[in-house]
Amino acid sequence: MIYFWQDPAFGARMITLMAAMILVLQILMVAQRWLITSIRAFGVQSFLLAMIGVTIAWFNRAPHIYIAAGLTLVFKAIALPIMLERLVTKIEIRQEIQPFVNVPLSVVISGGLTLLAYSVAESFQRPEETAGLGHNTLAVAISLFLIGFFMMVNRRKALTQVLGLLSLENGLLLAAISLTYGMPLIVEVGIFFDVLVAALLLAILIYRIRETFDSMDVSRLSRLRG
């Protein structure tokens, strides 16, 4: 008798479900103007990503993925959202007022980017890999990358641009752990802490922008030109 926690098919279904939820949360972040809601959506997205890592580590007996999943859970699902929420409370700016592209069109563009990601992912699929655990998450990983980049370009607030950067990195991590069952641990940890340090530095920059310009609108940085 095979229990569900020993059945790779059950693991594959759970990974597919969690990946779909991650993609829905990414589109929610695009559609959302409330900064706190976007931050919490990112936190839940990172939690699901950590759970995908745990699932893949369990079924593929890849213990080093537990480390990447643990770092994602502690820092990106818990610590960073708490820090960013406190930053929002401190600077007292709670909404993204004027993105370059309005919300309905942004959602449509995100849907188009998702379709593009699935088209690109299909070209990488091989018949012998269709049964692999996590093989069907490549499209979601590419979608996170593309939509995260779109958020960085479309949003005026520096904080939502940071969330776009972090979501983009989530897409890279999802691709790494689900398709190759993890890059070498030193590479994963290096990339993780690079993005973490970048996020912390950008959080400090956001605070300084708010103190100087009474706004988080990065387009106002053009005033610094001499």
114-141, pLDDT tens digit by residue? Answer: 999 988 888 776 555 544 566 678 889 9
The whole-number pLDDT of residue 175 equals 83
Share of the chain above pLDDT 90, in %: 19
Residues 6+ apart with CB under 8 A from 46: 72, 73, 76, 77, 80, 81, 166, 170
pLDDT at 221 over 80: no
The whole-number pLDDT of residue 197 equals 66
Give me the sign of the Cα torsion angle 32, 38, 44, 46. positive
CA gap 200, 194 in Å, rounded: 10
pLDDT at 195 over 70: no
The whole-number pLDDT of residue 21 equals 94
The whole-number pLDDT of residue 59 equals 83
The neighbour count for residue 97, using CB atoms within 10 Å, is 10
In 3D, which of 35, 25, 52 has the Cα closest to residue 147?
A: 25
Cross-strand pairs, 95:
34
The pLDDT tens digits of the residues spanning 65-78 come to 888 888 888 888 99
Stretch 96-124: mean pLDDT, rounded? Answer: 84
Amino acid identity at 96 = E
Check residues 129 and 52 and name the one with the higher pLDDT. 52
Check residues 4 and 179 and name the one with the higher pLDDT. 179
Both tokens of 143, joined, read 């979608």
Question: Mean pLDDT across the chain, nearest whole number?
Answer: 78
pLDDT at 203 over 90: no
Per-domain residue ranges for the chain? 8-221
18 burial level (CB within 10 Å; 0-12, 13-18, 19+): buried
CA gap 81, 69 in Å, rounded: 16
Cβ proximity of 151 and 163 under 8 Å: yes
